[in-house]
Amino acid sequence: TIRDANENVPEQLYMQFQLNYTQNGASYVHVHTKIIPTSNSPDCLVANSFNPKIELVYLMKSISYQVLKGKFTTDQLQRIRYQLDTVAVHKHKSQEFLKYYYGLRRTPLFTTRNASPDERVLFLHQIDHSSIETSLCYALPTAIQFQFGKKLTPLPSQDLLSDPTATLVDGGFFVGVRYAQQDSEDIEAAKVAAKLIVDARFPEPVYIDTVIGGSQDRFFKSKLIPTDDHGAKLLETQDIPFENFVELVEKRSKGD
């Protein structure tokens, strides 16, 4: 902490904002004061201020920047991934962090599988220039199902493979709609929602529209998470299933 470093930092910092404005011909000044507790404040518990989403996006942006600058070779990047596995062990109580970090390990940030060199470079640039919300979609795509006018947000796992429900998948750099071979109001609602995301985001993500089993359905399949051994077989992936990953992290946290 700052106190351990013998630095003289107060328990609180103050920031003031001054607003000058006129109303009915008269001039006014409004001053607002914001009190910011530091790590020397007894009211500021740094250990409890961990935000998994912010920390994960920070890792993504810092690593992608270093890769684009040519400071990390492929071997060095793999060593960094192993180091981040240790971070996951320390954060094993945060299921949210483990979920996003597991997805991040499978992206072009750490692997060249299923991505050409050009696609990988583009992916890294997109991480550097995207918001927190979009960056999180790179790590773990968001799935929204439209069913009888309602919206459901399931985990993008192998369970979606055979689910005929109209589903919007937001992977950050791609947005797509997947559905069975039939017309319905739910499919149209999913397409409208997907178009809104595409039009509002820059750089504009790739839009995919496919029926289950269609030529582009393989793209969705590669983004789904195998939650168990059965899911790994269905998705035909050699990635460790998510449940096994969580078990491994918990064992390492106990020193097993």
Secondary structure (H, E, C), 142-170: EEEEEECCEEECCCCEHHHCCCCCEEEEE
**Is residue 195 scored above 90 in pLDDT?**
yes
**Is residue 78 scored above 90 in pLDDT?**
no
Q: Which of 14, 43, 16 lies closest to 29 in space, CA to CA? A: 16
With bands split at pLDDT 50, 70 and 90, how would you rate the model's confidence at 7?
A: low
With bands split at pLDDT 50, 70 and 90, how would you rate the model's confidence at 1?
A: low
**Is residue 150 scored above 90 in pLDDT?**
yes
**Mean pLDDT across the chain:** 87
Q: Which amino acid is at 186?
A: D
Q: pTM higher than 0.95 for the full model? A: no
With bands split at pLDDT 50, 70 and 90, how would you rate the model's confidence at 175?
A: very high
Q: How far is CA 190 from CA 15, 167, 175, 179, in A?
A: 45, 7, 11, 9
The reported pLDDT for the residue numbered 182 is 78
With bands split at pLDDT 50, 70 and 90, how would you rate the model's confidence at 183?
A: confident
Strands (E), 76-139: none
**Is residue 77 scored above 90 in pLDDT?**
no
The reported pLDDT for the residue numbered 190 is 96
Q: pLDDT of 11-64, one tens digit each? A: 888 899 999 999 999 999 999 998 887 767 766 665 566 688 888 999 899 999
**Is residue 70 scored above 80 in pLDDT?**
yes
Q: Which amino acid is at 178?
A: R
The reported pLDDT for the residue numbered 6 is 55
Q: pLDDT of 234-251, one tens digit each? A: 999 989 999 999 999 888
